[in-house]
């Protein structure tokens, strides 16, 4: 039997699902059990979305011109406010 493939992760779809979960929890109409299930699913989605954002940030590169006038890439580093 071939190994199972992981389902494809879609950031926008996961974010929309997370927003739906938050809205449903904010209504206060869920039972405690439903709220706990929604919270658990929301936390999973949050971790997946945060991981995707972190990966995207690591891939961002700034295009800069060196002293010879040639374009080169440099890794993106977030500036500290300190």
Among candidate residues 53, 55, 75, the one with its CA nearest the CA of residue 63: 75
pLDDT on residue 26: 95
Q: What is the pLDDT of residues 12-68, one digit of tens each?
A: 999 999 999 999 999 999 999 999 999 999 999 999 999 998 888 777 655 566 667
Tokens read off for 32: 């405690």
Say which CATH class 11-75 falls into: mainly alpha
pTM greater than 0.95 (yes/no): no
Reported for 37-42, long-range contacts at CB under 8 A and 24+ positions apart, including other chains, are: 41/17, 42/18
pLDDT at 6 over 80: no
């Amino acid at each position: 039997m071939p190994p199972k493939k992981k389902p494809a992760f879609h950031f926008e779809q996961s974010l929309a699902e997370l927003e739906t979960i938050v809205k449903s929890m904010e209504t206060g109409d869920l039972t405690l059990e439903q709220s706990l299930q929604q919270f658990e699913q929301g936390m999973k989605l949050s971790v997946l979305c945060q991981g995707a954002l972190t990966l995207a940030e690591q891939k961002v590169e700034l295009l800069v011109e060196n002293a010879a006038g040639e374009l080169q890439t440099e890794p993106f580093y977030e500036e500290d406010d300190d």
